A and B are shown apart, each in its own frame.
Chain A
């Protein structure tokens, strides 16, 4: 824990129930994707537990002072799960929850891919895959040299690891032993047109990161105890990669493991059924 963070009590992660937060995020993203008519609901649902754990119990950020220099940095490199991060920021108090209804709407700053313009709490805009880890490495290097004690977290998708720039950044971060950098791969096994394994195989995935010089944890990305422990036991002498095994569409049975729900908008009876599975019995078609 760095000294600067202690001067900002509001920046301490609140003692919250990350599983309850994850459920809220899932309800938000299904509603947002339905209201806005947006794709990527499956990618948001697979990342919901990771994002909830980060915003609920890991990141030292201050909703009252989003630009506080002592904050940890978070980059959603898989920018297409932007809705999930917007929901987390709203729940954490960076902006009113009602603003989420404007996601994907005409004139809204809440774009389908996460953007920092007009959105308090977002440090880095993404959307084109393969950009986030390099930016995160630069931040980690600069913050580490300045000695303020901040950490940098980057969430990637598994399909994103097809991008060569991810591995350029992986080499760089290991060479500079950026222990304050943590990559989390939302490994939901599905990319745009089908299974990752049938598109561009990543296995042996953990070995790849390890051979690049990273400390690797492979966990169930929906298990909050495992997530909490992985974040708490990062390596002290090198960057850490958490490969989070997840299920695309997790939380809504008919979306789980279905590449269709990379694109499909939950509407009508599907929306009502999805919300019912997420504990909202009386949802009406948004």
Chain B
């Protein structure tokens, strides 16, 4: 997904001279081509995320279309007040790009787990929040985000769902597997686990609808309510805390939309800090944010109703 983003940004920089990439001194080998081709549209802000964000905001207020780039929580939580006061309040055209959503850097430890970013950033007015589920989507949504303009947050996972290339529209949830017994909403690369759960349940004759909510804000409440109403049993999965993220957004949409679901279950990180490390697949299984957890939740719901 990271490479797809860089490819899209390299094209955008060639098309639009206002594009500038403000880097937080990361991306060894990944940004080499961009830097060589677009030296005047690139700034390395060093290891100073507050300043990276403020500089990007200042450049945007002076006419640039700025992208900040770093990993994990560094471009988001480390400089949250610069995002809030400087970027969002001024509606500055800054898109924050974080590589390493969720457990992407699973061996590096808690500091590098981006597990509260969706909740925190979606709380900010003016902000668009996007978590693509696979590389072609990351490419397409990067281009669409550019058309929309910042403030925006683009969360890129290392893991990815495997889906055939198909049209995607910023702000519109996408049904990637049909079904009517239950629905699972997923965001980011962990969509792969939802698809695997659908395969597993299909073998038992249970039709699980899978909806890709790649845009967390603005939230596609209409599509979510309509799928929840049609299926009745609702599961959400996110590589993120269950507090305030996708699951919370789905619950809010259903309640306010008058959808009386028969079952509802958020799958994500319980309100705790991970204390073990491992690769992304290991940590998903360890913290029960995986296909088995989705299938279990659906089966339990169907039994209960």
Contact = CB atoms under 8 A, between A and B. Distances in A.
A116 B86 CA distance: 11
B50 A165 contact: yes
A138 B46 contact: no
Interface string A120-155: 000111111011011111111111011000000000
B85 A127 contact: yes
Given A125-B90, A131-B85, A134-B51, A141 B46 contact: no
Interface string A84-117: 0000000000000000000000000000000011
Contacts, number: 94
Given A135-B54, A165-B54, A124 B61 contact: yes
A125 B84 CA distance: 11
A69 interface: yes
Contacts of A141: 43, 55, 58-59
A146 to B, nearest CB: 7
A146 B82 CA distance: 24
Contacts of A126: 85
A168 interface: yes
Contact of A139 (B46, B48, B58): B58
Nearest to A170: B51
B293 to A, nearest CB: 41
B57 A135 contact: yes
Interface string B202-241: 0000000000000000000000000000000000000000
Contacts of B85: 125-128, 131
A165 B63 CA distance: 23
Nearest to A169: B51
B40 interface: yes
Q: Is the interface of A mostly helix, strand, loop or mixed?
A: helix
A172 interface: yes
Given A124-B90, A128-B85, A172-B55, A142 B50 contact: no
B283 interface: no
A145 B48 contact: no
B51 A73 contact: no
18 contacts: A69-B63, A124-B61, A125-B90, A131-B54, A131-B81, A134-B53, A134-B55, A134-B58, A134-B82, A135-B57, A138-B60, A138-B62, A138-B66, A139-B59, A142-B59, A146-B63, A171-B51, A175-B46
In the A-B complex, list the 6 residue pairs whose CB atoms are closest, starting with the nearest. A138-B58, A134-B54, A138-B55, A168-B51, A142-B62, A168-B48
Given A124-B86, A135-B54, A135-B86, 15 more contacts: A69-B63, A128-B85, A131-B86, A134-B51, A134-B82, A135-B61, A137-B54, A137-B58, A138-B22, A139-B62, A141-B58, A141-B59, A143-B62, A168-B46, A172-B48
